[in-house]
A and B are shown apart, each in its own frame.
Chain A
Amino acid sequence: MLMQSMNHQQAQETMAVERYVLQEMNEAERSSFEQHFLYCAQCLEAVTVASDFFEVGRDLSLEMEQQAAPAPTRREPKPHWSAWFRIVPAFGLAVFMMVAGLAIYQQIEMRDMQKIASTPKLVSASVFLPPAARDDSERGPENTVSVPRDGFFELDFDLPEHPRFTMYDVQIVDQNGSAALPAFSLPPDHLNRSSRLQLTVPPLSTEGPHELIVRGFGDSEKEKVIIARYRFVLEFTN
């Protein structure tokens, strides 16, 4: 059945985000709003944040309820065949990965990614690294990233012209050249299409000068070419 998609104005006027997470929509309306927000970055972001807010709020409310309650006389549930359903998620993921043909370690990595992707990350700072931060010969003003110790931050930068590579990776190193984050790969499609990159970086352990290094490489990982280095100074606010 083809559902008429809600438009952005209708979504705003009808408080669609709030009604969606409050489960106030009937199936047709929910489908209509989904057809809209799946292709509207603004609504997608709003509905994702609202949904995460509710999920976390529910956990907190359960906790508060348990704390407020007198000493619970919790009854151990008797074992039942339906307990097997609790391991189905892990089994399902394993089947999914087998079909996908990925290696075991990637399953672990994926679990971590799912964990991260399921929670909105609060970005404590968003910093644009200008070309001056890139070139050693042209020392511009320092690009300081001020964040709490446990704060995520966003780095926004443009890559210079570079030959096409089949693979790319990024690493962040501290002033001693030690890896502040292990190297991670970037989608080549994106890099070959756009020179602009935005990365959300998790909390780093040390403050001071850091360098973000973007490398390209061909089929052999030995032939890595540094495409750009960006300097920034990490400063903790607490």
Chain B
Amino acid sequence: MHCQASNTVQVYWSPSTTVETFDISYLSRLKARDPDVMEHFAHFFNRLLKVKLRAMGYRDTESDDLRNETLLRVLVAVDRDKIDNPESLPGYVYGVCEMVHKEQLRKLARHTHEEPEFFSELPDPRPSPDTVIAQSEARERVRCVIQRLKERDRRILTEVFLNEKPKDVICRESGITREYLRVLVHRALRNARDGETDS
């Protein structure tokens, strides 16, 4: 067991080696709190949950408690042998996340009724220091992709990222269709990927 500085943990399994491990042995070791499996569980599902919660409109900085709550509930379910099919663990985690999300919405609705200023103060738009450090490389790549776009496409994508206006409004104001917007995103992602191979 090692307890070194942060660069100890900067070597990690590529995604292709992490997807195939959900079997009975994985769940047993998770139940037994095997450090390797615990580590994998936390990293792999934390990332998957970020993907899901972002698609549901959450910023990473806003979804920490939802992710932790989800992982905690899944661990409890594992302890109680509630997961019959180990291979379905990713789907199970997403199901729990949906539930936690809905509970959160209900809770927020109650608080909003009691505390009208809640919504205006809760979201903290500042990225956490951890996020800033971890995203520095990816930021450069995304910045390059954005800079290479035509002025109009750059403006559209920026508005989409900011997510302050409904997409229909962005499209109408820019004189484009939703289809064009998807293609624009598709091309930006492709350019990011091509940039990777160029470097």
Contact = CB atoms under 8 A, between A and B. Distances in A.
A150 to B, nearest CB: 8
Contacts of B54: 21, 51, 54-55
Contacts of B167: 22-24
B186 A15 contact: yes
B36 A117 contact: no
Nearest to A148: B199
A118 B177 CA distance: 32
Given A21-B54, A62-B162, A188-B36, A115 B131 contact: yes
Interface in A22-64: 22-25, 30-31, 34-35, 38-39, 41, 44-62, 64
Nearest to B10: A202
Interface string B65-85: 100110110011000000000
B134 A200 contact: no
Given A110-B39, A117-B44, A122 B182 contact: no
Question: Which bracket fits the contact residues of A?
Answer: 35 or more
- Chain A interface secondary structure, helix, strand, loop or mixed? helix
B47 A117 contact: yes
Interface stretch (A94-102, A134-142, A157-165): A94-102
Given A35-B91, A100-B38, A118 B60 contact: yes
B71 A96 contact: yes
Nearest to B6: A112
Given A21-B55, A109-B3, A41 B15 contact: yes
A71 to B, nearest CB: 18
A45 to B, nearest CB: 6
B174 to A, nearest CB: 14
B173 interface: no
A117 B65 contact: no
A110 B9 CA distance: 8
Nearest to B72: A96
B42 to A, nearest CB: 6
Nearest to A65: B162
Interface string B11-46: 111111101010001100100010111111011101
20 contacts: A22-B167, A34-B91, A35-B91, A38-B90, A49-B189, A51-B54, A58-B59, A61-B162, A62-B162, A88-B65, A92-B65, A102-B38, A105-B3, A116-B10, A118-B50, A120-B138, A122-B196, A122-B199, A123-B196, A198-B14
Interface of B: 1-17, 19, 21, 25-26, 29, 33, 35-40, 42-44, 46-48, 50-52, 54-57, 59-60, 64-65, 68-69, 71-72, 75-76, 90-91, 94, 98, 115, 117-118, 121-122, 124-125, 127, 130-131, 133-135, 137-139, 141-143, 146, 157-158, 160-163, 167, 178, 181-182, 185-186, 188-189, 192-193, 196, 199
Given A18-B182, A119-B135, 5 more contacts: A45-B15, A55-B135, A62-B162, A170-B11, A198-B16
